[in-house]
């Protein structure tokens, strides 16, 4: 009978029929006159069995790992006591090599293991992707993005696609990638926030999933030079609404992933002990977080007037207590989340530490020790630290000009952003979530570099 062409992931519908499957040889094992192959096509893994003393089996001895090939035969349920992916195996009666791959010592798989030099792994990322773990992370990433979109759409946010080539900075000039744009200066975007704000009067609440770029010379587990930024912006909300929205986004998205058989299996494979966080998330003001750090003896490195870390005569960092006005740096933040062990909203950072657009907090908690706090929040997750940064935005035009001035920004190129305050301003706020950081949390990866298809970090833009 004629064979049915199928992807591995859809085979279950064709049990006990003749099927034809193409893919790459993931594993290969010979046992007397039987050859067992695990075939991979991206949708799943299939056990393929070549048996019988046909001429074909002798040829099959020349098959190598990572060759591509097509196999035709009967799809049989595996007998009791035996296991095979999907619960079935393909008993082959005809096969064809499509693209051969160097076997033996020339096979790239020989170069990849737990002890492989990270720079070799980075150079061979295109081949690393074929592995079971790397491909599972990327499959989960795809499911995660779909689930995020689903959640946001169900809360009436509309997806837009802002530009990557821009002429304004959002998060300060220090981390901008500058480029020549037809003889004029332009940058790669750091955040689409300002564009999302302009969409509110036109489209209502909006979100985007867009690449953001940061020229940060940070060689850490959680910094990339290019990352996928999920940003949302909502009109006519309060600061409390904003934090509740972020919490809802995360929890509903995780619920969707765990309710889906395929994505739940990926989470189980990558992060067996994952438990979704419970609501509401802990909320801790910046001022009380500083007290908390002092109480827990978590210190920061002393800095000189140029913000360089101070060291003692032996070259050891000089550590001091945190005080009001200090930035809570990555190391302290991580220790804090590890001790607390669940998501934390840190909110109310001093205006001096934050960008020009952040709305100031009012009321008795709005100032302390000469610092003015803002309606800003960072969501910290165990194992990663900051995953989301958000805030309410300045709605008042005069206040916005004061913000430009404080940050030394020339308002000229921001005329379109300023115009939002001129033509019917509104209370509004939004946030940005680092997709790779969220995935590092969900899939329990050591670094965000494992959560990007082709990660970019200082000095690395290949492959």
Instruction: Give me the residues that bind ligand 4AD (CB under 6 A), please.
Output: 170-171, 191, 193, 214, 216, 223-224, 227, 229, 231, 386-390, 430-434, 436-437, 448
Report the site for Mg ion in 59-118 (rule: CB under 5 A). none
Look at strands 88-99 and 68-77 and give their pairing. Answer: antiparallel
Picking from 220, 244, 174, the residue whose alpha carbon sits closest to that of residue 431 is: 244
Q: Which does 435 bind (CB under 5 to 8 A by kind): ligand 4AD, Mg ion, none?
A: none
Residue 432 near Mg ion by CB under 5 A? no
CA-to-CA dists, residue 239 to 21, 149, 233, 348, angstroms: 54, 23, 12, 10
Give the 3-state secondary structure of residue 141: helix
Select from 119-127, 294-302, 383-391, 416-424 the region that touches Mg ion (CB under 5 A): 383-391
Q: Which CB, 89 or 375, lies closer to ligand 4AD?
A: 375
Residue 430 binds Mg ion, judged by CB under 5 A:
no
Q: How far is the CB of 330 from ligand 4AD (least distance, A)?
A: 11
Helices (H), 368-449: 397-406, 415-422, 435-442
Nearer to ligand 4AD, 78 or 215 (CB): 215
Output the smallest distance, CB 11 to ligand 4AD, in A.
38
What is the smallest separation between the CB atom of 425 and ligand 4AD, expressed in angstroms? 18
Residue 290 · residue 376 · CB < 8 Å: no
Residue 231 C-beta: closest distance to ligand 4AD, Å: 4
Closest CA to 434 of 370, 390, 397: 390
Nearer to Mg ion, 389 or 430 (CB): 389
d(CA 55, CA 241) in angstroms, rounded, equals 70
Question: Closer CB to Mg ion, residue 6 or residue 175?
Answer: 175
Q: Which does 23 bind (CB under 5 to 8 A by kind): Mg ion, ligand 4AD, none?
A: none
Contact 53, 16 (CB under 8 A): no
Instruction: State the nearest-atom distance from the C-beta of 330 to Mg ion, in Å.
Output: 11
Which is nearer to ligand 4AD, 219 or 316 (by Cβ)?
219
Of 283, 384, 271, 389, the closest CA to residue 337 belongs to: 384
CA distance 194 to 210: 13
**Minimum Å distance from CB 431 to ligand 4AD?**
5
3-class secondary-structure state, position 216: coil
**Looking at beta carbons only, is 95 or 431 nearer to ligand 4AD?**
431
Q: Please give the C-alpha separations between residue 140 and each of 64, 221, 225, 311, in angstroms, as whole numbers.
A: 29, 20, 22, 43
Applying CB under 5 A, which of residues 73, 232, 389, 429 lies at the interface with Mg ion? 389
CB of 357 to ligand 4AD, least distance (A): 8
Residue closer to Mg ion by CB (options 73, 389) is: 389
Q: What's the CA gap between 12 and 262, in Å, rounded?
A: 15
Query: How many chain residues interact with Mg ion (CB under 5 A)?
Result: 1
Instruction: Decide if residue 348 touches Mg ion (CB under 5 A).
Output: no
- For residues 326 and 333, the answer to whether their CB atoms sit within 8 Å is no
What does 170 bind: Mg ion, ligand 4AD, none (CB cut-off 5 to 8 Å by kind)? Answer: ligand 4AD
C-alpha to C-alpha distance for 243 and 239, rounded to whole angstroms: 7
For Mg ion, the nearest residue by Cβ is: 389
**CB 432, min distance to Mg ion, A:** 8
Tokens of 448: 């965000």
Q: How far is the CB of 387 from Mg ion (least distance, A)?
A: 10
Residues 328/330/335/337 CA torsion (nearest 10 deg)? 80
Residue 348 vs 389, nearer CB to Mg ion: 389
Nearer to ligand 4AD, 6 or 191 (CB): 191
Q: What are the C-alpha distances in Å from 85 to residues 8, 38, 40, 44, 88?
A: 10, 9, 11, 8, 7
Q: Is 385 an interacting residue with respect to Mg ion (CB under 5 A)?
A: no
Q: Give residues in contact with Mg ion (CB under 5 A).
A: 389
């Amino acid at each position: 009978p004629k064979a049915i062409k199928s992807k591995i992931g859809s085979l279950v519908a064709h049990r006990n029929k003749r099927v034809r499957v193409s893919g790459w040889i993931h594993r290969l094992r010979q046992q007397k006159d039987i050859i067992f192959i695990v075939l991979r096509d991206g949708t799943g893994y299939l056990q393929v069995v070549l048996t019988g003393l046909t001429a074909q089996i002798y040829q099959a001895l020349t098959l190598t790992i990572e060759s591509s090939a097509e196999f035709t035969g009967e799809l049989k349920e595996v007998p009791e006591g035996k296991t095979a992916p999907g619960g079935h195996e393909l008993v082959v009666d005809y096969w064809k090599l499509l693209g051969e791959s160097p076997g033996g010592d020339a096979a790239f798989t020989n170069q990849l293991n737990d002890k492989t030099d990270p720079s070799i792994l980075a150079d061979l990322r295109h081949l690393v992707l074929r592995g079971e773990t790397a491909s599972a992370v990327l499959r989960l990433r795809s499911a995660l993005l779909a689930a995020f979109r689903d959640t946001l759409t169900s809360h009436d946010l509309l997806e837009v696609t802002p530009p990557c080539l821009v002429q304004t900075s959002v998060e300060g000039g220090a981390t901008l990638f500058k480029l020549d744009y037809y003889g004029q200066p332009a940058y790669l975007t750091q955040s689409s926030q300002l564009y999302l704000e302009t969409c509110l009067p036109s489209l209502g609440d909006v979100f985007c999933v867009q690449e953001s770029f940061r020229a940060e010379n940070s060689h850490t587990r959680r910094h990339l030079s290019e990352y996928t930024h999920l940003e949302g912006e909502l009109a006519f909300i309060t600061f409390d609404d904003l934090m509740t929205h972020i919490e809802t986004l995360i929890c509903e998205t995780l619920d969707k992933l765990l309710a889906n058989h395929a994505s739940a299996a990926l989470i189980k494979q990558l992060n067996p002990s994952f438990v979704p966080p419970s609501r509401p998330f802990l909320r801790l003001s910046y001022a009380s977080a500083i007290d908390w750090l002092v109480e827990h003896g978590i210190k920061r490195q002393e800095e000189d007037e140029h913000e360089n870390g101070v060291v003692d005569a032996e070259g050891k960092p000089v550590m001091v207590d945190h005080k009001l006005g200090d930035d809570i740096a990555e190391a302290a933040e991580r220790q804090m989340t590890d001790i607390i062990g669940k998501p934390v909203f840190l909110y109310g950072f001093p205006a001096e530490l934050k960008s020009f657009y952040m709305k100031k907090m009012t009321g008795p908690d709005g100032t302390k020790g000469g610092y003015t706090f803002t309606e800003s929040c960072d969501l910290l997750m165990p194992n990663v630290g900051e995953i989301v940064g958000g805030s309410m935005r300045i709605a008042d035009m005069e206040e916005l000009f004061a913000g430009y001035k404080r940050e030394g920004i020339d308002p000229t190129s921001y005329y379109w952003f300023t115009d939002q305050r001129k033509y019917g301003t509104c209370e509004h706020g939004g946030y940005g979530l680092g997709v790779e950081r969220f995935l590092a949390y969900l899939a329990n990866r050591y670094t965000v570099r494992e959560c990007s298809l082709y990660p970019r970090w200082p000095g690395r833009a290949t492959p």
